[in-house]
Chains A and B, each alone.
Chain A
Amino acid sequence: MATLLRPVLRRLCGLPGLQRPAAEMPLRARSDGAGPLYSHHLPTSPLQKGLLAAGSAAMALYNPYRHDMVAVLGETTGHRTLKVLRDQMRRDPEGAQILQERPRISTSTLDLGKLQSLPEGSLGREYLRFLDVNGHCFPYDTRAPTRFVDDEELAYVIQRYREVHDMLHTLLGMPTNILGEIVVKWFEAVQTGLPMCILGAFFGPIRLGAQSLQVLVSELIPWAVQNGRRAPCVLNLYYERRWEQSLRALREELGITAPPMHVQGLA
């Protein structure tokens, strides 16, 4: 049997796939330090990132229910912006703590019972109410882990940004219908500068009706932009330590005013 194996082995090592120089080896075996950096990480080349960004943008527009495509778009286009965000978080004391301790907001880390017991008007209680009113579902892109960011810390930053999204809904008092989402996207675009937010802010309204569009442009967007510019970066807030803080006090601290009108009925 050994004599039969030898020619097989020789032939196998002669297979084109094995003799290629390192540069041409398929991606997973590439040795430019790009093995997986964190769990779920998928190392990608610049070409792949470009294709992913284009493809996910197109797919997200074509099928708005593909929230995973929005997430992928954010990951593949946000590298530079995430660095800026991360540096800015490091400069802020509360932000630096977040980067160090890496808290996560998810169904497994939230103590819903404790939040329930908090007084009315507190951040925790209002957040819980928001979840209840909007069907207690975390948006898909919150649950999906980061995959295409090629830096472990930046991967956390974008994950934090996604998990903070619901907080922003609560802070701004925006529901999770299309209009509310667009308003929050505008706020985030001004605050974070992530290309995905900017794209979402400009392309999201494509599917809106004329009436909603008018309300959006005339009142909601200016309000969101104003608040976004005035408020300090929302990623720097350690929400997990502020559950007991009154929502009103928090809004005052951030300079967030009441929304111009109740958005629930529209869109």
Chain B
Amino acid sequence: MAAPGSCALWSYCGRGWSRAMRGCQLLGLRSSWPGDLLSARLLSQEKRAAETHFGFETVSEEEKGGKVYQVFESVAKKYDVMNDMMSLGIHRVWKDLLLWKMHPLPGTQLLDVAGGTGDIAFRFLNYVQSQHQRKQKRQLRAQQNLSWEEIAKEYQNEEDSLGGSRVVVCDINKEMLKVGKQKALAQGYRAGLAWVLGDAEELPFDDDKFDIYTIAFGIRNVTHIDQEAHRVLKPGGRFLCLEFSQVNNPLISRLYDLYSFQVIPVLGEVIAGDWKSYQYLVESIRRFPSQEEFKDMIEDAGFHKVTYESLTSGIVAIHSGFKL
């Protein structure tokens, strides 16, 4: 489908969801969000700005951006701790699997959108670095009868330890980027990393710039990003999305719901002092489309060879598509 059409479809889907939600009688709760004056809107007949969902509330698209910003501003410092506590550390495995699926070759230019605290970026750098080291070792082993001087020169060349790979971490939230930068300093990542404050719906990059575009646990917080993703990828570039999805096993689904709605907000309150942000989190997961639907949406946006892989019985899924 042509890009403008796909963009329209995406926004229609946004509106379609909210209409469907209304039809299914979701409550519009009056929530006194800290510092936020707006509550969920009541039903009315007149034409309104495009609507979307914010957890179980229905909000306009402009509102959603602001509200999501506030959520992540307040959770930024405890983000990583909470991830570990909520997923019992499994989120690390999920992210590792994303990298494994990515199999980046040396020289890959990666754009990690909504990459906030840098988990994907650091894993990418580790992967690329170890790949490069292995390559170096192989080369040296292949060259027989080298003198000590030649070996020393090889190591002294100080060539790019990443093999030309670069990663750009883009996030709309300053607090999350700040935490990410601090982590990078603490863990010693310097080369090959760039931090950009930017909006996923309007990326501050030129066309055809990146080999891989990833968005891990960020896509349900934004509204239309397909066009931008398509634009900044080089032809042949890959779109990878790691996100919570629908559980396919009914028993696990019930346990998962129980855990999500009973335990996670409590964890949020006790550890981070923030009930509402984590209530938003579990609600936004429920509102996200299923694996198949999301695959269709990616295809509609112009990507080819779209596949997905469910992890942990469908709690998360990795979707992949190519710009051809």
Contact = CB atoms under 8 A, between A and B. Distances in A.
Contact of B17 (A12, A24, A51): A12
Contacts of B63: none
Nearest to B254: A24
A109 to B, nearest CB: 19
A145 B23 CA distance: 34
Interface stretch (B103-111, B141-149, B173-181, B261-269): B261-269
A55 B267 contact: yes
Contact of A26 (B19, B273, B286): B286
B24 A18 contact: yes
Interface stretch (A41-49, A125-133, A211-219): A41-49
A43 to B, nearest CB: 10
B38 interface: no
A51 B263 contact: yes
Interface in A30-84: 35-36, 39-40, 42, 45, 47-48, 51-52, 55-56, 58-59, 66, 68-69, 72
B262 A51 contact: yes
Contacts of B16: 5, 8-9, 12
A40 B32 CA distance: 6
B211 to A, nearest CB: 32
Interface residues of chain A: helix, strand, loop or mixed (majority) = helix
A137 interface: no
B140 interface: no
B30 interface: yes
Interface string B1-14: 00000001100110
A36 B39 CA distance: 13
Interface string B251-289: 001100100111101110111010110010011001101
A35 B29 contact: yes
B12 A1 contact: yes
Contacts, number: 84
Given A27-B261, A51-B263, A72 B56 contact: no
A27 B265 CA distance: 11
A18 B53 CA distance: 14
A24 B246 contact: no
A28 B29 contact: yes
Contacts of B286: 17, 26
A28 B279 contact: yes
B273 A24 contact: no
B266 A48 contact: yes
A53 to B, nearest CB: 10
A140 B151 CA distance: 64
Nearest to A51: B266
A8 B56 contact: no
B17 to A, nearest CB: 6
Nearest to A39: B32
B56 A26 contact: yes
A16 interface: yes
B29 A13 contact: no
A208 interface: no
Interface in B266-324: 266-267, 269-271, 273, 275-276, 279, 282-283, 286-287, 289-290, 293
B62 to A, nearest CB: 23
A51 B275 CA distance: 13
Contacts of B31: 36
B27 interface: yes
B20 interface: yes
B26 interface: yes
Nearest to B24: A18
A152 to B, nearest CB: 15
A52 B56 contact: no
Contacts of B260: 26
A75 to B, nearest CB: 11
A24 B269 contact: no
Given A9-B19, A29-B26, A55-B269, 14 more contacts: A1-B12, A4-B9, A12-B20, A17-B286, A26-B282, A27-B261, A29-B27, A29-B56, A35-B29, A47-B262, A48-B262, A56-B270, A66-B273, A72-B269
21 contacts: A1-B12, A8-B16, A9-B19, A9-B20, A11-B290, A12-B16, A13-B20, A16-B246, A16-B253, A17-B286, A24-B254, A28-B29, A28-B279, A29-B27, A29-B56, A36-B31, A39-B32, A55-B269, A56-B269, A56-B270, A72-B269
